[in-house]
């Protein structure tokens, strides 16, 4: 037996995401608040406060709907834990990443609600980080774990944006 065969290691039964996914969004909101101290610019026209409140409410509702879909399949939501089932119902019938979409909606909503343009603009940073570093890990893991079923799901349902 060759040395290479002895060194084969199994991949972990999770997506390998090392931090809670909302962390970059929270950090971007904090950074936006700091930027606002030195560059105070509004994020909404007069009378648009309800738009910010509505975006936050839609984001929270979407997140709760996604969580309920995971609970219905008896599988953990956290990407660092082992997935027990492919969730393809609820908001997952329309988007493969509704929770990430909800984080973005909440951040933009908070920025509009608080009238802080920097929070709205900085939403792009965690979105790009999620699309570049988190989603590919999750997709590779789900493809390994569920194979053809996951490929079929991907062909029917688009990513979050």
Counting residues of the chain whose pLDDT is more than 70, the rounded percentage is 94
For position 161, what pLDDT does the model report?
65
For residues 39-45, give the mean pLDDT: 86
Q: CA dist 67 to 15, 76, 102, 104, 154, Å?
A: 18, 9, 11, 16, 20
pLDDT tens string 71-128: 999 999 999 899 999 999 999 999 999 999 999 999 999 999 999 999 999 999 999 9
For position 10, what pLDDT does the model report?
73
For residues 48-64, give the mean pLDDT: 95
Sequence-distant (≥ 6) Cβ neighbours of residue 84 within 8 angstroms? 73, 74, 75, 76
Helix axes 98-114, 23-38, angle to 10 degrees: 20
Q: Output the furthest CA–CA distance in the chain (Å, rounded).
A: 73
* Structure token digits, residue 65: 């709907």
Does the structure show a pLDDT above 60 at 11?
Answer: yes
Angle at 114 between CA 110 and CA 118, to 5 degrees: 75
pLDDT tens string 128-139: 999 999 999 999
For position 9, what pLDDT does the model report?
59
Does the structure show a pLDDT above 80 at 4?
Answer: no
């Amino acid at each position: 037996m060759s040395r290479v065969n002895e060194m084969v290691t199994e991949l972990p039964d999770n997506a390998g995401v090392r931090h809670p996914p909302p962390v970059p969004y929270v950090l971007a909101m904090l950074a936006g608040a700091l930027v606002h101290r030195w560059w105070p610019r509004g994020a909404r026209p007069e009378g648009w406060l309800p738009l910010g409140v509505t975006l936050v409410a839609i984001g929270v509702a979407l997140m709760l709907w996604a969580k309920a879909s995971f609970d219905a399949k008896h599988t953990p939501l956290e990407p660092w834990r082992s997935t027990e089932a492919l969730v393809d119902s609820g908001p997952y019938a329309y988007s493969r990443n509704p929770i990430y979409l909800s984080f973005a909606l909440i951040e933009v909503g908070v920025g509009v609600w608080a009238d802080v343009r920097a929070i709205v603009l900085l939403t792009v940073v965690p979105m790009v980080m999620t699309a570049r570093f988190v989603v590919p890990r999750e997709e590779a893991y789900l493809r390994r774990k569920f194979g053809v079923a996951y490929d079929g799901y991907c062909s029917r349902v688009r990513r979050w944006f």
